[in-house]
Amino acid sequence: MTANLPLMSGGQLVVAALRAHRVRMAFSVAGESYLEVLDALYDAPEIHLVTCRQEGGAAFMAEAYGKLTGEPGVLLVTRGPGACNASIGVHTAFQDSTPMIVLVGQVARHQIDREAFQEVDFRKMYAPLAKWVTQIDLAERVPELINQAFQVATSGRPGPVVLALPEDMLRDRAAAAVVGPYHAVHAHPGAANLAEMRRLVAAAERPIMLVGGSGWSDAAAVDIARFAEANQLPVCCSFRRQDIVDNRLASFVGDLGTGAAPALVARFKAADLVLAVGARIGEITSQSYTLLGVPDPGKTLIHVHAAAEELGRVFRPTLAIQSGMPEFAAAAAALEPILAPRWRGWREAARAEYEAGLAPSSFETAPVLDLGRVMSWLRERLPDDAIVTSDAGNFSGWPNRFLQYRRPGRQLGPTSGAMGYGVPAAVAAKLVHPERVVVGFCGDGGFMMTGQELMTALGEGVGPIILLFNNAMYGTIRMHQERRFPGRVVGTALKNPDFAALAAAYGGFGAVIALTEEFAPAFEAALASRRAAIIELRMDPEIITTRTTLSALRRQAEAASAS
């Protein structure tokens, strides 16, 4: 079978397999452990190799690539140190159900288990962080195992797959047939499932849909919205999955993230039926498992998920449907709508609450930089296909509450809550779609974790715009401190560099704004510069969330401890 095949090195076989699986872009920090792969990439100009500055940033870029395109993000890193740095992005891909392929250099096979230079047993290290980990010990098995990696990463519930590549295996030569491209495998909903779902929904008084998770194509997003609209069902979305249903539709009623609107939380609790599609209904979305009982949800739960293992894992559903999102959404859109549903008023009230929440909250002292007004301006200004990325932190409440997401625009945020995501994700998004507006939201804390990847954007000639919310603190943790230990601030205050000067030092565009009316011109100038940009928003540090202040939290905590 291999008689007519050319002899190739293990490294060449790796790159041939990536080509066969139609990989167009890969993110890397170089290492001597995988020189053969790098050298083979020299001869594969159709794979755009992005040279990053730290593996954590590179891994976030690969994760964001996977989230954005639905195709696995490919990451190349060196053994111990590279793999350790990369682990935050692998964990994020795991929690966020994002397809990803991680190629890690490894020590030579005959040195394994001596604790050779930078040696790590990746099967052990990545066991709880990845969907699958293996080591390719024979060059002739490279095509087989890379094919398996792509299948596993993309099928069912997507996730990261780690492949360790011993350096001497990469030098071995073998003749092996390269296979590809992969075909992701997803279940379809059965006719009986759909009929039962329709029957349960029709019997409800106060139903609510929850959409979330990964695997949503633009077409699936359109289909699920069509189903919701046809049946007048209110739809909310899970944490950082706000781009599945067009937020401007009458069906959309808000998001169940960290800053979920209290009215939506109350409404979800009052619902008698939940139709959860794609969401795992994790800790954040379920508001620390308070929205549904565990394991008995206490109401009718129809749970649709791509992975059989997720169904009945935490909540025991009335009806479980294993299905991919496009497959389910198309089938749901084709169902006969439920006519004159009883819940029309319920849906309208939920929508009215969501719309009321778009009006900025008022604070005791009106801030000179009114972030609610800034976000309202941005909501109107951003094109339909804009890509918004987000880091983790309290500042993310501003875009989450006030922007309106829709396809083909996207929201790319770490449901893992990993700080450092915002900049690398914006760089990756701009590399994939250089023609689109890409805006990355970061706090001052998160920015300083991976902000150097802005240089990667400048090196590549692409210009994401970073909105840096500077409150000179790890604000989220300060908020928790004020609630639990009022007035006792420790470990959360930050001294920061001059961010606009930092942007300029990289060769990018930098601006600082302190007043509401300065934002629009700064944003337009950043766009016009076409360079990677930082717009620092000098926040009033008192304003700790979109709804409350630090002093108010402290007063509440002190009053609670006094009573």
Ligand X SMILES: Cc1ncc(C[n+]2csc(CCOP(=O)(O)OP(=O)(O)O)c2C)c(N)n1
Binding region for Mg ion (CB under 5 A) = 443-445, 471, 475
Choice between 341 and 445, CB closer to ligand X: 445
CA distances from residue 246 to 69, 169, 220, 344, 375 in whole angstroms, order as listed: 18, 49, 12, 19, 18
Task: Output the smallest distance, CB 266 to Mg ion, in A.
Answer: 29
Residue 201's H or E segment, with its range, is helix 191-202
Binding residues for ligand X, total number by CB under 6 A: 20
Alpha-carbon span 279 to 193, nearest angstrom: 18
Write the DSSP symbol of residue 473: B
CB 250 within 8 A of CB 222: no
Distances (CA, A) of 448 to 155, 453, 513, 523, 526: 35, 10, 19, 21, 20
Q: What angle do CA 382, 383, 386 make, to 5 degrees?
A: 80
Partner in contact with 166, chosen from ligand X, Mg ion, none, beta carbon below 5 to 8 Å by kind:
none
> Whole-number minimum distance, CB 68 to Mg ion, in Å?
26
Question: In the bound complex, which residue of the shown chain has the CB atom lying closest to ligand X?
Answer: 443
402 with 379: CB under 8 angstroms? yes
Q: Write down the residue that tokens 């009033």 correspond to.
A: 540
Tell me the C-alpha distance between 451 and 457, whole Å: 11
399, 376 contact by CB (below 8 A) = no
- Give the CB-nearest residue to Mg ion: 443
Contact stretch for ligand X (CB under 6 A) within 89-97, 122-130, 136-144, 417-425: 417-425
For 373, the token pair is 């007004």
Burial group, residue 282, by CB count within 10 angstroms (0-12, 13-18, 19+): middle
Per-residue x/- mask for ligand X, residues 189 to 218, rule CB under 6 A? ------------------------------
CA distance 492 to 485: 13
| Shortest CB 363 distance to Mg ion, Å | 18
Per CB under 6 A, 443 contacts ligand X: yes
Residue closer to ligand X by CB (options 219, 552) is 552
* Residue 153 binding ligand X, by CB under 6 A: no
Q: Using the rule CB under 6 A, give the single segment among 78-86, 266-274, 388-396, 503-511 that binds ligand X.
A: 388-396
Binding partner of residue 392 among ligand X, Mg ion, none, CB under 5 to 8 Å per kind? ligand X
Torsions phi, psi for 143 (to 5 deg): -60, -40
**13 vs 502, which CB is nearer to ligand X?**
502
Does residue 468 belong to the site contacting ligand X (CB under 6 A)? no
Tell which one of 143, 440, 464, 475 touches ligand X (CB under 6 A): 475
Distance CA 74, CA 101 (A): 5
Contact with ligand X (CB under 6 A): which of 444, 453, 482, 518? 444
**Selected range binding ligand X among 111-119, 314-322, 356-364, 413-421, rule: CB under 6 A:** 413-421
User: d(Cα 197, Cα 338) in Å, to the nearest integer?
Assistant: 12
- Nearest approach, Cβ of residue 474 and ligand X (Å): 4
Residue 399 is a binding residue for ligand X (CB under 6 A): no
Among 126, 150, 474, 523, binds ligand X (CB under 6 A): 474
Q: Choose which of 419, 428, 431, 503 interacts with ligand X (CB under 6 A).
A: 419
User: Can residue 54 be called a binding residue for ligand X (CB under 6 A)?
Assistant: no
Distance, C-alpha 512 to centroid of its chain: 28
Question: What is the nearest approach in angstroms of ligand X to the Cβ of residue 494?
Answer: 7
Residue 89 contacts ligand X per CB under 6 A:
no
Residue 85 tokens read as 């740095």
- Strand-pair partners of 163: 103, 134
Query: Quick one: DSSP state of residue 362?
Result: P
349 is a contact residue toward ligand X (CB under 6 A): no
Residue 392 near ligand X by CB under 6 A: yes
| d(C-alpha 521, C-alpha 527), whole Å | 10
Among 232, 390, 476, 481, binds ligand X (CB under 6 A): 476
Question: Which option in Mg ion, ligand X, none does residue 417 bind, with CB closer than 5 to 8 A by kind?
Answer: ligand X
**Does 445 interact with ligand X (rule: CB under 6 A)?**
yes
Q: What is the Rg, in whole angstroms, of the alpha carbon atoms belonging to the chain?
A: 24
CA gap 51, 371 in Å, rounded: 35
Residues 530 and 506: beta-carbon distance below 8 Å:
no
CB of 83 to ligand X, least distance (A): 17
Q: Does 221 bind ligand X (CB under 6 A)?
A: no
* 195 vs 493, beta carbon nearer Mg ion: 493
Q: Which residues bind ligand X (CB under 6 A)?
A: 391-395, 417-420, 443-446, 469, 471, 473-477
